Structure 1
Amino acid sequence: MSQQNNTTQAAKPGKKSQAINRLMDALPPHAVEAEESLLGSILIDASVLNDVQLIIQSGDDFFKKANGSIYTIMIELNNGALKTVDIVQLKQMLEDRNLLEAVGGMDYLVKIAEAVPSAASASHYARLVKEKSVVRQLIAAAGEILQDAYTNPEDPQEILSEAERRIFSIAQQSEQRHAEKLDELLTVAIEQLEANDGKLITGVATGYPMLDEVTSGLQKGEMVIIAARPSMGKT
């Protein structure tokens, strides 16, 4: 009876590993329709790119490589001399980069141009695309952490430190940025300088003079993460 239980217990990890492998091999979460709708929105009204770029900074967030390439070109066009994006310019630049056929040709550009009736929901589509991108990055990070745990089980602290670094990196990238007016920022900065009245420490002092000199203390609204190799004195 005991031998049978041991056999059953030994079999469980194998089944879990198979389940994990199936998950890792599955098609990652994606929102291709949202990607196409977002690109279509930009073709309708390129001004939405100002808000969209606060959510999606690069074409790497797109699941479909063709859509990522198109988005990258759109950003370049919007940052160019004409400061606008239209299907003619887009086609020409894709041709110049030998990318037109790779993204699906003119037929695909027409398809995305007709994907939505207006650009009103561009930010909504951008958030959908970004959310799926974050989940895919988390899946990839989980796979790397799993591999580290199997290949380097003797050093769990190193595995934990690397896992923290990967997850924190994804969290930083997924933070939505907000555009702020320069005059408002300057007003806040001036008020802070006046309130500071010449003091070096503007936040909460840590008690470590060199650290306080670099950071000006722990600032309100900041998330401070202390990172270092194991056994270096973080605690």
Structure 2
Amino acid sequence: MFKVSIFFSEDIEKVLIGNILLENKIFFKVYEKIKCKDFFFKKNQLIFEKIKKLLFSNIKVDPIVLLENINNKKFINIKYINSMINMAYKRRNIKFYTNIIKQKSLQRKFFIFIEKIKNETKKKPFKKIVNIIYKKLDNFFIKEVKSKTLKKKFKEYFNKYKKNYKNILTGYTKLDKLTMGLHRGELVIVAGRPSTGKTAFVINICENISINLINKKNLQSVIFTMEMSSEQILVRLLSSILNINSCKIIKKNIKKEKILKTKKKILKSKIIMDDSSNLTPEKLKIRIKNIINRKKIDVVIIDYLQLMNIDEYKENRTNEVSKISRSLKNIAKEFNISIIAVSQLNRNSEQRYDKIPILSDLRESGSIEQDADLIILMYNNNYNEDETKFIVAKNRNGPTGIFKLKFIKKITKFKNL
């Protein structure tokens, strides 16, 4: 039996290193998950680090080679190294040992983290403490990155087809034809000048996905809105579903029968709304993770990107927006969801004769063009309120192109032409 404490297990540390000394190739499997600092005992940290240096120098490591390269032979002697070898015989559950060492390391780090927070609460205001917790706690949720062989990736891809795996249709025929729907793990940018209907468009997509059964079943979407309140989003959804001017809903100038008809549809919907301000990538990630612990998420909508920020960021705004867009892309990949972020365009397009926007018009763009998988630019030529043009300016999975949608202003709804 191994001796196991809450924060460490000396036996398991020794067994794992003993196995590496018996079979060096085990080290490279283990090193993807644990590093020398994950070991609790100083001796084991030094031995693991020395093994790493020797193997990375293409030197085969056995007990004699290891001892020859140890500087302090009083601290680490042949008796200690042999005890590791003896413990490792017939004990080859490498994955189990690695997981235990990593788990104990995280428990120690978390305990230290809690102690630091206790000390910081005495000096700093509560809001700053919350922001520090968000940032530091995020490190405990970083997923292990694993390399995949082509064979393994092909099997995963093939299994999607066997399960009739489909992308997420938006309900807009020409857009879905160009893009083959929204792809999980990807970042979509919907950009336009003020009052071009950006928010209306993404809410309409959300309605189609989570209320109107476009994908044969309602899929789960989450709306993070920093510009509008949850109530305003609800009013827009009701206006679209009921085909009634939103002013009548606000003034409560509608029949109860119509509201009751909509009630069933709304209760079956799969939309979560979050209208909290000061959204940072760290807070977004933790909120998404909390939701995923309860239910699967398919699409996340952010309205809008330029209202997000990074706490205490002192560099220029363009670099900050670049970091935000990169974080959104990473979140989409990590949780295998589609993220749609609304973005502003600068005034450059208005100075052109044709008013047609281009990718470089993205406001405070930084690396948005690079990070996004799909970029849709909206514009209203000659300010025709009944018709809006959409330019698929970037499409990582297919062709670019232009399509038009009819805009019904009184119910803020886009329809296929």
**1:90 and 1:41 mapped to 2: Cα distance?**
14
Give 1:62's aligned residue: 39
Aligned: 1:36 with 2:14: yes
- 2:332 aligns to what? 219
Which residue does the alignment assign to 1:79? 56
Q: 2:73 matched to which residue of 1?
A: 100
| Corresponding residue for residue 122 of structure 1 | 94
Going from structure 1 to structure 2, the CA distance change for 1:55 and 1:217 (only over 3 Å counts) comes to closer
1:1-20 equivalences under 5 Å are none
Cα RMSD over matched residues? Answer: 3.6
Please state whether the residue corresponding to 1:101 is helix, strand or coil: coil
**Alpha-carbon separation, structure 1, partners of 2:11 and 2:37:** 16
* Structure 2 residue aligned with 1:89: 65
Contact kept in structure 2, 1:44 and 1:118, CA below 8 Å? no
Mapped contact 1:42–1:49 kept (Cα < 8 A) = yes
1:233 paired residue number: none
What secondary structure sits across from 1:55 in the alignment? coil
1:168 CA displacement: 1.2
Higher share of residues assigned strand = 2
Give 1:66 shift.
0.7
Q: Which has the higher contact order (CA 8 A, sep 6+)?
A: 1
Gaps of 5+ in 2: 157-177, 191-304, 307-320, 338-417
Task: Tell me by how many angstroms 1:28 deviates.
Answer: 6.2
Q: Larger Rg: 1 or 2?
A: 2
User: Structure 1: where are the runs of 5+ without partners?
Assistant: 1-26, 189-197, 225-235
Structure 1 144/50 Cα, relative in aligned 2: closer, same or farther at 3 Å?
A: same
CA distance in 2, matches of 1:170, 1:133: 11
Q: Of 108, 116, 129, which aligns to 1:159?
A: 129
User: Distance between the aligned counterparts of 1:85 and 1:29, measured in 2?
Assistant: 29
Q: Supply the distance in 1 between the matched residues of 2:7 and 2:333 (Cα, whole angstroms).
A: 36
Instruction: Give the conservation status (yes or no) of the 8 Å contact 1:44–1:119.
Output: no
Q: Does the CA contact (< 8 Å) of 1:145 and 1:159 recur in 2? A: yes
- Give CA deviations for 1:184-203 in whole Å, capped at 9, x if unaligned: 779x9xxxxxxxxx99x973
Shift of 1:223: 8.0
Of 144, 161, 177, the match for 1:176: 144
1:119 deviates by 5.8
Q: TM-score, normalised by structure 2?
A: 0.38
SS of 1:205's partner is strand
Separation (CA, whole Å) in 2 of partners of 1:115 and 1:168: 36
Partner of residue 83, structure 2: 111
The AA in structure 1 aligned to 2:72 is L
